[in-house]
């Protein structure tokens, strides 16, 4: 036994129980060469595992079975058809969406029947129960509304006062000085012209209490026919359509800041342009320019 150990020792071989499990390098080359070879082999094995894993999982959805052009076309057509699922009037079934009223259900009588020139079955006369063409009064025989229009074609005076007198819209008031240019301090005759511009005969108070002629400049009133006059009489006059009444007063050329004997006795206004206006109760005329030299 001791002899075998000596032979092994001489040959450079260790006993079996002393051999290591794994040697770092085996061969005549430097150890670094063998480590590089081992790293290359390990990398190749790892790359093969990765390639095998990718091949098994299939990678992309386009490579799966059944994901060919037909299935992709079906998904595209389904997505393209999605907006059409929103509601529209073209897809609403009959009777379930907004619609215009049936012309046969509309009562023509609600469209201004009975307002024709003759107050009866005129152009719109057979509105409610006419049996003509859609009740438009051409051949209808209905009652044509209440026929409240005036038969003689006169205009309805919607702003006429309750007492029947002439309204302001039926009356025109115009100041008419005999001249629109005069010397300061001189007398001037001014007329007040009143006309019925309406279409009916009506009464209106044309007395001194309702009339006024005045001269102003801006917001300052220099003279008024009411300031120095004590006449507050009333005179109700029947005015036919187109009837004209004129009343005149004389301005003595002075301001009405002071009165003497029923006449203005104030200072003489300066030269310049002034405005003459007429008034009949609540009806005020447009101004007329008066120049004082």
pLDDT in tens, 21-76: 455 556 678 888 888 888 999 999 999 999 989 888 865 555 555 545 545 554 55
Provide the 8-state DSSP code for 230.
-
pLDDT at 72: 54
pLDDT of 128:
44
Q: Which residue in 286, 235, 284, 111 sits closest to 123, CA to CA? A: 111
Give strand ranges (E) for the chain: 171-177, 181-182, 188-196, 202-205, 211-217, 220-224, 236-239, 244-251, 259-260, 263-264, 272-280, 283-284, 288-292
Q: Which of 41, 36, 289 is nearest to 175 (CA)?
A: 289
| pLDDT of the residue at 58 | 66
Cα separation, 133 vs 136, in Å, equals 6
Cβ–Cβ under 8 Å, residues 266 and 256: yes
Query: Domains in the chain, please, with CATH?
Result: 168-292 (2.60.40.2360)
Per-residue pLDDT, 64? 52
Nearest to 249 by CA among 171, 188, 206: 188
Are the CB atoms for 278 and 245 separated by under 8 Å?
no
Mean per-residue pLDDT pooled into runs of 10, the chain (293 residues): 45 48 64 86 91 79 50 50 47 48 46 47 44 45 46 49 89 96 94 95 93 94 93 92 94 94 93 96 95 95
pLDDT tens digit sequence for 236-266 = 999 999 999 999 999 999 999 999 989 999 9
pLDDT of residue 210: 93
Give residue 193's pLDDT: 96
What is the rounded CA–CA span in Å between residue 184 and residue 170? 36
Instruction: Look at residue 174 and give its three-state secondary structure.
Output: strand
Signed CA dihedral, 27, 31, 37, 38: sign only: positive
Across the chain, mean pLDDT equals 73
Position 32 scores a pLDDT of: 83
Which pLDDT does position 95 carry in this prediction?
47
63, 206, 287, 289 from 223: Cα distances, Å: 107, 21, 14, 15
């Amino acid at each position: 036994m001791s002899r075998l150990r000596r032979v092994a020792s001489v040959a450079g071989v260790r006993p079996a129980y002393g051999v290591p499990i794994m040697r770092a390098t085996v061969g005549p080359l430097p150890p670094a060469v063998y480590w590089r070879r081992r790293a290359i082999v390990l990398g190749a094995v790892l790359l093969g595992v990765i390639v095998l894993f990718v091949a098994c999982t299939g990678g992309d959805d386009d490579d799966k079975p059944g994901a060919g052009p037909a299935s992709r076309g079906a998904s595209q057509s389904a997505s393209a058809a999605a907006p059409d699922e929103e509601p529209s009037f073209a897809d609403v079934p009959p009777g379930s969406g907004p619609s215009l009223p049936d012309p046969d259900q509309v009562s023509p009588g609600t469209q201004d029947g009975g307002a024709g020139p003759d107050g009866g079955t005129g152009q719109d006369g057979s509105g409610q129960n006419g049996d003509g063409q859609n009740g438009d009064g051409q051949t209808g025989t209905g009652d044509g509304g209440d026929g409240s229009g005036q038969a003689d074609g006169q205009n309805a005076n919607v702003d006429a006062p309750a007492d029947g007198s002439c309204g302001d819209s039926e009356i025109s008031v115009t100041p008419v000085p005999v001249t629109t240019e005069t010397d300061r301090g001189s007398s001037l005759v001014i007329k007040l012209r009143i006309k019925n511009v309406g279409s009916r005969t009506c009464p209106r108070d044309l007395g001194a209490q309702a009339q006024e002629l005045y001269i102003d400049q801006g917001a300052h009133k220099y003279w008024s026919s009411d300031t120095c006059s004590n006449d507050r009489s009333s005179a109700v006059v029947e005015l036919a359509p187109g009837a004209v009444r004129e009343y005149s007063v004389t301005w003595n050329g002075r301001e009405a800041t002071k009165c003497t004997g029923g006449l203005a006795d104030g200072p003489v206004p300066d030269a310049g342009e002034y405005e003459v206006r007429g008034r009949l109760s609540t009806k005020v005329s447009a101004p007329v320019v008066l120049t004082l030299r």
